[in-house]
Amino acid sequence: MLSTSERTTPDSGHRTVLLRGGEVHSPADPFATAMVVERGHVAWVGSEGAADAFADGVDEVVHLDGALVTPAFTDAHVHTTGTGLTLTGLDLSGAGDLAEALALVRAYAAGRPGDRVLLGHGWDAARWPGGRPPTRAELDEAAGGRPLYLSRIDVHSAVVTTALLDLVPGVTGEPGFHPDAPLTAAAHHRVREAAHAAVTPERRAEAQRAALRHAASLGIGSVHECAGPTISGEDDFTALLRLAAEEPGPRVVGYWGELGAEGVARARELGAAGAAGDLFVDGALGSHTACLHAPYADADGTGNAYLSAADVAGHVVACAGAGLQAGFHAIGDAAVSAVVDGVRAAADKLGVARVRAARHRVEHAEMLTPETIAAFADLGLTASVQPAFDALWGGDGMYARRLGAERARTLNPYAALLRAGVPLAFGSDSPVTPFDPWGTVRAAAFHHTPEHRVSVRAAFTAHTRGGWRATGRDDAGVLVPGAPADYAVWRTGELVVQAPDDRVARWSTDPRSGTPGLPDLTPGADLPVCLRTVVAGETVYVRPGE
């Protein structure tokens, strides 16, 4: 249990704090046991003996009692309001079959008699016996005839009730409308917009606070909000940025995914870090909307192409004119090819150096080839990826059913990306997969496909420093003097060094290597427990009882 002693009580962000008696994960000193934080930044990292010199001149001493201190995690792809609505509302991700999902809908509808529209998320028929989603008639009955919107786990399709369709005039004529199957494309966007419009500002703020508090409780110090006109809306985006600025909690870096000169101008007006995030080039594999070069193994067609290479090129050029980062959502191999071709065309116009300097992002980037990986490296593209996708859908799971085993084995090639020099930033895409930073690091280190595995250290870096680098900050996400004091304190077991190559692991544990250890993330081992999260020197979470 942590213990503290305080001498003065100035504003917490301006306190001088000494942490001692633990393990501090820092490249500045691989054997550090203590750290000093001053005015929101790391001031010193070193040994327990040297810490005595600071003890009398600080405002607070935190006795770590052997706990581990690491940089706080950055979740590089989040939908904050959707995460909060799932945390506080109808979450179907745990439903084991269709009957259980419908029972959860009935119970939720009965408990929310005043809601104008019922919202839920997380169903995944691909994991249910029979493999089919609920019909509209089944949902109408379960919801008692009320408007209901249920997004699939990947949020790229949804099932809805008749009452909700009645609120969206003309939706039956939109692309992606199916009389008794999940809605995709424009039809899905229309019903989602109508459903989210029913969320009151008070309910939205409640959801955003719940999401950010939950993130902080897991050692997450910053999140990248991936918003856009077809995802959340301007009011939602600006309300989140305002809440994050006014209340203690994780930092929020906002991205606004809207195409072209108008979208870039809107991103600047809204205070976004870039016209990036979920600017959709395609959809998702689970919904058969990711855009492929060859047809799906379990369905006709090659998915949906929402943007062309010319669209991508024009957007990158527009972002360059505004001094903003560009980014694109691309999952299928055809979508990734469109991004690469478009960014290269922009580089031909702007110059490769200017494109590389902007660190444009590609979200998800699952279906890569050696050629597109090389292009990412050449163009300086950051791969903002979600290792939990492989943990959930890899191996003989949904990916293999959608693509066939051979193509599925090529997905999420993290080791190849790192070997090529492509920067990685890890995230969750919450609520698609939940906040789970150590689980994310584990998923990358123990990928279903062994040749795609990376060391725990590399995965940890991608989930801490990688997120900061994706925003253009190279001075953060690491505990060294001068860096922002964004850190987390953990209760964990013995620290080890884990790498796919056993020779590397053996050398790294030799004291001569100076490699700081990390928790044992072997599948089945207990994950670290967050005791405290600090952002810019201000404590934003303390585990109850600590």
pLDDT for 260 beyond 60 = yes
Q: Which CATH number does 3-71+479-492+528-542 carry?
A: 2.30.40.10
pLDDT higher than 90, residue 37: yes
Equal CATH topology for 3-71+479-492+528-542 and 80-197: no
Taking only the tens place, the pLDDT of each residue in 447-476 is: 999 999 999 999 999 999 999 999 999 999
pLDDT band at 184 (very low <50, low <70, confident <90, very high): very high
pLDDT at residue 13, rounded to an integer = 59
Dump pLDDT digits (tens) for 127-173: 999 999 999 999 999 999 999 999 999 998 999 999 999 999 999 99
**If you search the block for the tokens 């904050």, which residue do you land on?**
80
pLDDT value of position 381:
98
Query: Which residues is 6 bridged to in the sheet?
Result: 60
Give the per-residue pLDDT at 507. 42
In the chain, domain spans:
3-71+479-492+528-542, 80-197
CA dist 504 and 462 (Å) reads: 19
The arithmetic mean of pLDDT across residues 263-273, rounded, is 97
Give the DSSP H/E element, type plus range, for residue 71.
strand 68-71
Confidence at residue 14, expressed as pLDDT on a 0 to 100 scale: 74
Q: Is the pLDDT of residue 67 over 90?
A: yes
Q: How far apart are CA 149 and CA 196, in angstroms?
A: 9
SS3 for 103-121 is: HHHHHHHHHCCCCCCEEEE
- State percent of the chain over pLDDT 90: 88
Q: Which CATH class is domain 80-197?
A: alpha beta
As a whole number, mean pLDDT of residues 388-401 equals 97
Which of 64, 69, 67 has its CA nearest to residue 29? 69
Checking if the pLDDT of 509 tops 60, the result is no
pLDDT confidence of residue 230: 84
Dig out the tokens for 5 from the structure.
Answer: 């002693």
Structure tokens at 177: 């409308």
The whole-number pLDDT of residue 12 equals 57
DSSP string, 243-302: HHHHSSS-EEEEEE---HHHHHHHHHHHT-SEE-SS-BSS--TTTT-S--SS--SSSSS-
What is the spatial order of strands in the sheet that 60-63 belongs to? 3-6, 60-63, 16-20, 34-38, 41-46
pLDDT at position 512, please?
47
The rounded distance, in Å, linking the Cα atoms of 119 and 105 is: 10
